[in-house]
Amino acid sequence: MLVRLAYDGAAFFGWAIQPGMKTVQGDLEEALSMIVRRPIRTVVAGRTDAGVHARGQVVHFDLTPAEIAALNRGKDITAEYALTRRLNGILKRSSSGAVVIHESRKAPRGFDARFSALWRRYSYRIADSTVDLDPLARHYTHNVGTELDVDLLNHEAQSVLGHHDFLSFCKPRERATTLRTLQDFRFVRGSDGYLTVHLQADAFCHNMVRTLIGTALMVGEGKEPVGWLAHRLEAQVRDSKTKLAPPHPLVLEQVQYPVDEELEARANQTRAKRAPLGNVEA
């Protein structure tokens, strides 16, 4: 089964199950287990850190034909609709509405939420000194005390686009690759004065999104010289000179997949290219 969901990450200690911690995966798998009456393990498109949100998260998991047939409990509704409704009913209670299931359906042949993905897209909201701060948005906005030059920030962002080893911007995992293709990285000032950062890549390794943003802001705030991102990329070292942006404004917006006929080939290609593959997370 394939499920698309959204969540407010402020309520959780990240996506992945952790002993004694409330996580999105923990709540979702507990809800699934209540419905089918056995343990269910999900595979996610992108594991998000504590405090990070999602509007377009995707997971898959395996159910038997008998379990799928029983989802509607004999009612005149589809199994997919029944699963969405039942999951939302349980999650509304367990997460106080912080997790919402938008769609449930049978996954196409060869689909893998993680390995079939073509790209992931994130957004990040920033307020600088040029805007009147909205206290109602403080939980989803990074407030910067200086005025930011969007052209300068975009100059830095463009210098790291493409296929590179992003070791300097990732928290390395044992035996995991840090090779990624960064397809989009730009800062856009909206009509309200707030900045939105857009990032898209075939995948993101651990902390990559927040580190790219944090390092760019070091230039934007005048703490580092122009060309700092390119310099850090070339350095190929993870150290204290690289800054991690706060997690609370970060949102996983979308995960894109190929047409159904190409899902299995894409998954196989990704496994071969990234074996062993590190975590896909922000």
C-alpha 197/C-alpha 128 separation (Å) is: 13
How many other C-beta atoms can be found within 10 angstroms of the C-beta atom of residue 243? Answer: 16
- What are the residue numbers of the active site? 49
The strand pairing partners of 37, in sequence order, are none
In angstroms and rounded to an integer, the radius of gyration of the C-alpha atoms of the chain is: 20
Asked if residue 100 lies in contact with residue 88, where contact means CB atoms within 8 angstroms, the answer is yes
Asked if residue 57 lies in contact with residue 252, where contact means CB atoms within 8 angstroms, the answer is yes
In terms of C-beta density within 10 A (0-12 exposed, 13-18 middle, 19 or more buried), how is residue 126 classed? buried
Asked if residue 6 lies in contact with residue 102, where contact means CB atoms within 8 angstroms, the answer is yes
Phi, psi of 124 (to 5 degrees): -150, 130
- Helix, coil or strand: residue 160: coil
**Four-residue CA torsion sign, 131, 250, 167, 263:** negative
- Helix, coil or strand: residue 134: coil
Query: Do β-strands 99-105 and 119-127 pair in parallel, antiparallel, or remain unpaired?
Result: unpaired
- The residue among 83, 109, 107, 96 whose CA lies nearest residue 31 is 83
